[in-house]
Amino acid sequence: MPYYVYKVFPMQLLEKVQAFDGFKDASKLAKELRAKLAPTDNYAIKVMFGENELEAEDILSQVREPQPTTGEDY
């Protein structure tokens, strides 16, 4: 299954940058793109693994609950 590199804009708008067969290459590109981000850029760079582009975009669009931090466990 391929790894996809995306620009994730506000309102969960996605722009595919590139797809890779291996994680190492996808991660390398993501790190390079993140290093070039300016403070005024309004997107994040994400790597997503998926059976196809549609599945990767679906996973990226899902809202996840934040992990509890120390002291929030009652």
Are the CB atoms for 46 and 30 separated by under 8 Å? yes
Span 4-23, pLDDT tens digits: 999 999 988 999 999 999 99
Q: Which pLDDT value is given to residue 5?
A: 97
pLDDT band at 32 (very low <50, low <70, confident <90, very high): very high
Q: Which pLDDT value is given to residue 50?
A: 92
Q: pTM, whole model, 2 decimals?
A: 0.81
Residue 30, token pair as written in the block: 């993501």
pLDDT band at 34 (very low <50, low <70, confident <90, very high): very high
